[in-house]
Structure 1
Amino acid sequence: MTPLDEQSVTVPVRRLAHAEGLDLPAYATTGAAGMDVAAAETVELAPGARHAVATGLVLAIPDGYEVQVRPRSGLALRHGVTVPNTPGTIDADYRGELKVILINHGTEPFIVRRGERIAQLVLAPVVRAAWRVVDSVPLTQRGDGGFGSTGM
């Protein structure tokens, strides 16, 4: 057993009818942080087009966790196809079908084929914030320098 096996969290998953025969999300290697998830439909994405691609999966993410949806680097590099709201967040209390929003930034139409790996899913712990209104915040070296200010 590897240290990661000892840290695994069980996530119940329901497979909808249009996902029958497809693999469940899986890690491609022992060191992978993300699980590849497959499309449960075939759809053509014209250049510039977006589509919420069905996976046919309904997740019961445990309280205290989220699933982050991230692009697959090969699709982005070879075809310009990516996840526009990266990372997308699937909340623990969502019980609808997991769909992956894909956008085609390429110059050619791209066909998403049923069974094709379209994104990565990362199970991540969630830390909830508790806001406390104060009159001032501690100063830092950066201060209020905004976009690009640390690269100058």
Structure 2
Amino acid sequence: MIPVVYTQLPHGEGLQLPAYKSEDAAGMDLLAALPADGEVVLAPGARSLIPTGLAIELPKGFEGQIRPRSGLALHEGVTVLNSPGTVDADYRGEIGVILINFGTKPFVVRRGARIAQLVVCPVERVALIAGGRLTASARGANGFGSTGRSSEED
């Protein structure tokens, strides 16, 4: 396991810390750090930045990915708008989650709601080389569905 230093901000105190829910889970649930007497109502088509009350210090060479929770997406139509969101290794502020409601009815976010997942991954950096000639490939520049659609037969 890779150690990650965290700070639970005052408005996140009392909330459970992110934790893996099974032995092989890739992500840890992030919780909404809203006031106990407050809530955010996402109307259909609306989006909002939800605080988590958590700041982390990732090691150099890693990123945090903020991903949707599949149950919220399937059952409520609620997902992470900039999915996956990125927490850079040099960011020290609060993790926020941009939720959007693609569902047909309002969705209420309350304190402690599991709103997203945090997955920590290694990141490779590259050096772009100007003026290099790209090698040919069978695919070439064809993209955006050029390899077929899942509904097509071979």
Q: Answer whether TM exceeds 0.5 for this pair.
A: yes
Instruction: Say whether 1:39 aligns with 2:32.
Output: yes
SS in 2 for 1:74: helix
Deviations 1:75-102 (A, max 9, x none): 0000000001111001111111110000
Superposition deviation, residue 27 in structure 1: 0.8
SS in 1 for 2:30: strand
Q: 2:78 aligns with which of 78, 81, 85?
A: 81
Which one has the bigger helix percentage?
1
Instruction: Say whether 1:26 aligns with 2:23.
Output: no
Alpha-carbon distance between aligned partners in 1 of 2:98 and 2:131, rounded to the nearest angstrom = 39
Alpha-carbon distance between aligned partners in 2 of 1:117 and 1:9, rounded to the nearest angstrom = 23
Alpha-carbon distance between aligned partners in 2 of 1:12 and 1:114, rounded to the nearest angstrom = 23
Matching residue of 2:88: 91
Moved >6 Å (runs of 4+):
none
SS in 2 for 1:149: coil
Alpha-carbon distance between aligned partners in 1 of 2:141 and 2:45, rounded to the nearest angstrom = 36
Deviations 1:119-142 (A, max 9, x none): 000001110010112342111111
Q: 2:103 aligns with which of 70, 92, 106?
A: 106
Matching residue of 2:152: none
Percent of paired sites with the same residue: 59
Q: Residues 148 and 98 from structure 1, CA distance in 2 versus in 1: closer, same or farther, beyond 3 angstroms? A: same
TM-score, length basis structure 1: 0.92
Superposition deviation, residue 52 in structure 1: 0.7
Structure 2, unaligned runs of 5 or more: 150-154
Deviations 1:20-49 (A, max 9, x none): 111111111111111111111131111111
Q: CA RMSD in A?
A: 1.0
Instruction: Say whether 1:136 aligns with 2:133.
Output: yes
Deviations 1:47-75 (A, max 9, x none): 11111100001111111111000000000
